[in-house]
Structure 1
Amino acid sequence: MKQALYKDKILIVNILVHSFADNKSIKYIVKQDSRKEERLRKLMAYSFERCYRFGEVYLTEDKKACALILFPHKKKTSLSALLLDLDLAFSVIGLSNLKKVLSRESKIKQLYPKSPFYYLWFIGVYPADQNKGIGKTLLNEILTNAEREGLPVYLETSTRKNITWYEQFGFVTYNKLDFGYELFCMRRD
């Protein structure tokens, strides 16, 4: 695993688009219309930008998997961050979905601790390369970094089969939210 460079953005967006194309949580956020793939690509580009600025972005050496880590305690308000958020609202979420997405985000954030933590926003492996241990190796390295920093790791998943996968790494489900699909809130202390 290596820390991604800014020039890796297109590759990372591609990995995440392929990994999350059918994800329930993503479909809830991304306006589902004829431009949904373009919107998904913009969501992943937005996520990359946020994590590159206020977290860490990782890429495996073979360039088949990546992870986006956000440090909420390091997020800063700036004009560029505000412009990113506005672009997300208009070009990805859509005004008709904005209220429900903001409500969803508020409910999730209420569950986070007030102290610093690692937020595993996305971990993705190209679908053709899944079930080969690439994601496992990547997650182990991320968890090692979190342990070194003495920080718990939080994440959400709407994919049931991922729950047992994360449990293998010591994650526990600490809450479940219903948005017309189940969102499992998990943490590893």
Structure 2
Amino acid sequence: MKKAEYTDKALIVDILTKSFETNRSVNYIVKQDEKRIKRVSALMDYSFEVCYAFGDVFLSDDKKACALVLYPDKKKTTVKSILLDLKLILSCVGIENIKKTLNRESMIKKIQPKEIMYYLWFIGVDPVYQNTGIGSVFLDELIEDSKLKRRPIYLETSTLKNLPWYQKYGFNIYHEADLSYKLFFLKRELAKQ
């Protein structure tokens, strides 16, 4: 695993767009129209930019998996972050979905503990290479990185089939929320080996 360069952005956005194209949580906030795939890509572009500025962006050594990690305690409101938010509304969410999206984000912030964390916002493997073990090796490397940084890992998933996989790596569900889908909140304590 390596820290991604800014020049890796197109590859990372492509991997995440393909990986999350049908994800219920992503499609909850993405405007559902003929431009939906472009809108999912715009969300991944936005998320890359935010994590590149206030977290870490990782790419597997074989460039088939990537992760966007945010450190919420380091996130700041800047002119650039405001412009990114506006671009996200126009290119992804749509004016009519702003309230629903803001309510969802507010709910997530209320549920997440106010502690230093390693927020695994997105982890994806190019769909061509899924179920080959690449994601498992990559998640192991992310866990090691979180240990080095002394930050517990937090994430949310709406993908039921991913729950046993995360639990195998020491993640526990600490909350569930009902939207138009079930959103599971997971945490991996630092003490777990």
Q: TM-score range by the shorter chain?
A: over 0.9
Match of 2:83, SS state, is helix
**What is the CA distance between 1:70 and its match in structure 2?**
0.3
Provide the TM-score with structure 2 as the length reference. 0.96
Deviations 1:13-41 (A, max 9, x none): 00001100110001101000011111111
Q: Which runs of 5+ in 1 are unaligned?
A: none
**How many angstroms apart in 2 are the aligned matches of 1:115 and 1:41?**
30
Residues 82-101 of structure 1 correspond to what in structure 2 (within 5 A)? Answer: 82-101=82-101
**How many angstroms apart in 2 are the aligned matches of 1:61 and 1:188?**
24
**What is the CA distance between 1:55 and its match in structure 2?**
0.4
1:42 aligns with 2:42: yes
**What is the CA distance between 1:177 and its match in structure 2?**
0.5
The alignment-based identity, stated in percent, is 53
The aligned counterpart of 2:141 is 141
**How many angstroms apart in 2 are the aligned matches of 1:182 and 1:114?**
23
Deviations 1:112-148 (A, max 9, x none): 2222100000000011101111111111111111112
Match of 1:34, SS state, is coil
The aligned counterpart of 1:179 is 179
**How many angstroms apart in 1 are the aligned matches of 2:70 and 2:184?**
18
Match of 1:110, SS state, is helix
Aligned residues: 189
Residues 120-139 of structure 1 correspond to what in structure 2 (within 5 A)? Answer: 120-139=120-139
Q: Aligned AA for 2:123?
A: I
**How many angstroms apart in 1 are the aligned matches of 2:130 and 2:67?**
14
Q: Aligned AA for 1:156?
A: E
Q: Aligned AA for 1:95?
A: I
The aligned counterpart of 2:119 is 119
The aligned counterpart of 2:153 is 153
**How many angstroms apart in 2 are the aligned matches of 1:135 and 1:183?**
21
Structure 1 segments, 4+ long, off by >2 Å, are none
Provide the TM-score with structure 1 as the length reference. 0.98
Deviations 1:141-166 (A, max 9, x none): 11111112221110000000000000
